[in-house]
Amino acid sequence: MSTSNVVPNDLNAFWMPFTANRQFKKTPRMFVAARDMHYTTSDGRQVLDGTAGLWCCNAGHARPKIVEAIARQAAELDYAPAFQMGHPKAFELANRLVDITPDGLDHVLFTNSGSESVETALKLALAFHKIKGEGSRTRLIGRERAYHGVNFGGISVGGIVTNRKMFGTLLAGVDHMPHTHNLAKNAFSKGPPEYGTELADELERIVTLHDASTIAAVIVEPVAGSTGVLIPPPGYLKRLREITKKHGILLIFDEVITGYGRLGTPFGADYFDVVPDIMVTAKGLTNGVVPMGAVMVSAEIHDAFMNGPEHVIEFFHGYTYSGNPIASAAGLATLETYKEEGLLTRGAELAPKFQEALHSLKGLPHVIDIRNIGLVGAIELEPIAGQPTKRAFSAFLKAFEQGLLIRTTGDIIALSPPLIISESQIDEIVTKLAGILKTLE
C-alpha cells in the first residue's frame, strides 16, 4: 500500500489554512490521488473536480508532460541561487509568458504565490513613482469585496472584512472603490451584467478627494473570484483604464484567477480588451502543481529601473525561490500542455454550454442569482436567517458526499472546473447540484 493512502491517526498538529479546523478534524475529507477531472478520496471514491483544485489546475490533474518535466528537472538541477545567478528555464519561461501576455507587458518577475505577486506589484508601483521623481504618489486604491491574497499589502487593498479586522491598521493611505455586485439590478445575468458601468467613475471621486499626485496605483481583479464571482459591467474596466491613464496612476490587474484561460481567453485583459501596466498571476501558471507566481510589467516600468551604475541591484526585492528550477520546468510544461490542447481558449468554446447548464438551475429552492463568464460560474443562495454561510456549506458537504467538489464563499457556490472538462461532465455537475439544491434546509 502506498504511504500516501494512509490517513494519519493524529490530525492535531497541522493548523489548516482557511478551514474550519475543528469541524474538519471531526469528519476529515482527504484526497489521496488525482487524474484528469477526478480526485480519489482516502476511502476510494472518485470526486469530479468542479473547481480546478482552488482555481489552479486548469489542465486537470497528473498531466504527463508536467509530471515528467518536474521529475526530470529535480534530477538535473534541483535548485540554483536566485540572486546574482541564473538557470536557463526561468529565462525561457519568462519569454514564453511574454509571448502569450497582451502586447506591452514585456518583463516578468517570479514569485511563489498570488499573495507574493500582489506584494511585488504594489512595491513595484511605489518604487516606480519614486524613481520617476514622483515620490508623493504613495496611495494605493483597491476595491470592496476584493481578494488580493493574505499578506499585509494584499489585505490592505483587499476588501474582505474578515481578512482585515484582526490585523491592526494595515497599510496607511489605502482607499477603496465600491464593488460592482448588484443583485437588485443584475440577478440572473448571462455573462457580464448590464448595470453598473458608472461605478468606475467612483475612481474619479477618489482622485478628486486625494489628488492624483498622491496616488500610485489602482488594483482590481478583472472578475472578483473569491468573493463569489463578481463580473464587471461592460466598459467598466475600460473606464478604469482611461481614468488611471489620464492621472498618471498605474493600473494593476490581479489575474491570479482570471489568468491562463479561465475566461476563455489567455487573460482577463484579453477578454475585456484592456491592457494594465502590471499583471499579477499565479495558480494556473504551473497548473497548481508547484507553487509559483509571475508578475508581468510594462517596458516603461522596467526601463525606469534600469538606470545608474550597472553593478548595482535595480530593485531591492525577490525571493529565495523566485524562478525556482522545478517551478520553471512545471511552468514550461504547463504552457506546452495549454498550447497543445488549446486550453487557453477552450473556455470560450464551452462557455455557451456551461452558461445554459448553469442557468437551468434558476427557480430551484433558495437560488437568488446565477452568473457566469467563461468557465466560471456562481450560484448565490438566500442565506438561512441568522446563520450566514451555513446553507452553502451544507451544499458543499453534500456535494462532496455525492462525488462532486465545489467551492463556497459566504452563501455563494462557485464553479471553475478544469478547462479540459467535457460537456457531459458539465451536465453531471449541474444534475448533481440540482439534486442537492432540492434537499437543502
Site residues (vs ligand PXG, CB under 6 A): 54-55, 113-115, 118, 147-149, 221, 225-226, 254, 256-257, 282, 407, 409
Cβ nearer to ligand PXG, comparing 52 with 333: 52
* Smallest separation, CB 114 to ligand PXG (Å): 2
Residue 210 and residue 218 in contact, taking contact as beta carbons nearer than 8 Å: no
283 Cα distance to chain centroid: 7
Q: How many CB atoms lie within 10 A of CB 299?
A: 12
Closest distance to ligand PXG from the beta carbon of 225 (Å): 5
| DSSP structure string for 49-88 | ESSHHHHT-TT-BS-HHHHHHHHHHHHH-----SSS---H
| C-alpha cell of residue 360 | 437551468
- Report the C-alpha gap between 112 and 117 in whole angstroms: 8
Query: What type of residue is 331?
Result: G
The alpha-carbon radius of gyration of the chain (Å, integer) is 22
CB 209 to ligand PXG: min, Å: 26
How many C-beta neighbours within 10 Å does residue 392 have? 25
Q: What one-character-per-residue DSSP string does 286-323 give?
A: GTTSS--EEEEEEHHHHHHHS-S-TTS-SS----TTTT
Which is nearer to ligand PXG, 207 or 282 (by Cβ)?
Answer: 282
Q: Decide whether 39 or 55 has the Cβ nearer to ligand PXG.
A: 55
Under DSSP, is residue 142 helix (H, G, I), strand (E, B) or coil?
Answer: strand
Q: Considering beta carbons, is residue 292 or 329 the nearer one to ligand PXG?
A: 292
Smallest distance from ligand PXG to CB 116, Å: 7
Q: Which three cell numbers stand for residue 181?
A: 455586485
Residue least distant from ligand PXG (Cβ)? 114
206 vs 257, beta carbon nearer ligand PXG: 257
Of 305 and 319, the one with the shorter C-beta distance to ligand PXG is 319
Shortest Å, Cβ 230 to ligand PXG: 11
Nearer to ligand PXG, 215 or 220 (CB): 220
Q: What beta strand segments (E) does 19-165 contain?
A: 31-35, 38-41, 46-49, 105-111, 139-143
Residue 315 CB burial class (10 angstroms; 0-12, 13-18, ≥19):
middle
Residue number, 114 or 159, with CB nearest to ligand PXG: 114
Whole-number Å distance between alpha carbons of 23 and 20: 6
- Name the residue nearer to ligand PXG (CB basis): 281 or 355: 281
| Dihedral class, residue 191 (left if φ above 0, else alpha if ψ from -120 to 50, else beta) | left
- The dihedral formed by the CA atoms of 296, 300, 302 and 305, expressed in degrees to the nearest 10: -150
Distance CA 191, CA 407 (A): 20
Q: How far is the CB of 274 from ligand PXG (least distance, A)?
A: 16
